[in-house]
C-alpha cells in the first residue's frame, strides 16, 4: 500500500514537472530572414523576412537593423513606385511579410565581409520598445526568396 502511494506521488511529481517545462509561444517570431547583397558593390542591399505577431494586441514595427550596416530603411513597392515607410502596423495573431516586389528594407553601407551562405544579425524594433532578432541568411543578388541551394521557399 505504501509503495502504491509512493509510486502515485512520484508520478504526480513527474507530471507536474513536465507540465512546468512546457514553454509559452514567443510573442514575436522572425523567420525566413534573408539579406540580399547588391548587384553593384556600394549600392544598397535588401532585407526580407516574415514576422509573426503571436500576441493578442496589435503592434507597430518602427525599424529594422542589420548588424554592421550603416542603416536600414523600410519601403514598400506598389504600382512600380517605391515609398518609404516610417512604421508598419502588425495586427494581433497575424504574419507580416517583407518580400521582393512589396514591403522590404533597403540596407545601406553593408559590411564588406558579407558573402552568400553567411549569416548576419537582423533586428526589428517596435514602437513600445520591444525587439525581436534572428540571424538572416546572406544571399547573392537575384536570390531573394530562395534557399541557398536555389530552391524557392
Q: What is the pLDDT of residues 22-46, one digit of tens each?
A: 456 799 999 999 999 999 989 999 9
Superfamily, domain 28-139: PCu(A)C copper chaperone (2.60.40.1890)
Please give the Cα distance from 26 to 18 (Å, whole number).
19
Measure the CA–CA gap between 2 and 8, rounded to whole angstroms.
Answer: 10
Q: What is the dihedral of CA 92, 93, 95, 96, to 10 degrees?
A: 0
Distance separating alpha carbons of residues 89 and 58, to the nearest angstrom: 7
**Domain ranges for the chain:** 28-139
How far is 142 from 146, CA to CA, in rounded Å? 9
Backbone angles phi, psi at 30, to 5 degrees: -110, 120
pTM listed for this prediction: 0.79
In which residue ranges of the chain is pLDDT below 50?
Answer: 3, 6-22, 148-153
End-to-end CA distance of the chain: 59
Q: Please, what is the average pLDDT of the chain?
A: 85
Whose CA is closest to 114, among 46, 30, 35, 32? 35
Q: Is 134 helix (H, G, I), strand (E, B) or coil?
A: strand
Amino acid at each position: 500500500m505504501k509503495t502504491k502511494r509512493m509510486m502515485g506521488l512520484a508520478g504526480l511529481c513527474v507530471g507536474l514537472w513536465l507540465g512546468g517545462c512546457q514553454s509559452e509561444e514567443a510573442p514575436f517570431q522572425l523567420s525566413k530572414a534573408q539579406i540580399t547583397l547588391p548587384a553593384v558593390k556600394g549600392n544598397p542591399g535588401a532585407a526580407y523576412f516574415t514576422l509573426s505577431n503571436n500576441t493578442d494586441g496589435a503592434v507597430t514595427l518602427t525599424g529594422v537593423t542589420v548588424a554592421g550596416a550603416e542603416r536600414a530603411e523600410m519601403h514598400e513597392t506598389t504600382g512600380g513606385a517605391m515609398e518609404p515607410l516610417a512604421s508598419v502596423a502588425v495586427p494581433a495573431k497575424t504574419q507580416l511579410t517583407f518580400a521582393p516586389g512589396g514591403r522590404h528594407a533597403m540596407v545601406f553601407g553593408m559590411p564588406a565581409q558579407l558573402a552568400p551562405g553567411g549569416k548576419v544579425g537582423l533586428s526589428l524594433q517596435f514602437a513600445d520598445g520591444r525587439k525581436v532578432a534572428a540571424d538572416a541568411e546572406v544571399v547573392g543578388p537575384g536570390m531573394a526568396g530562395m534557399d541557398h541551394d536555389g530552391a524557392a521557399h
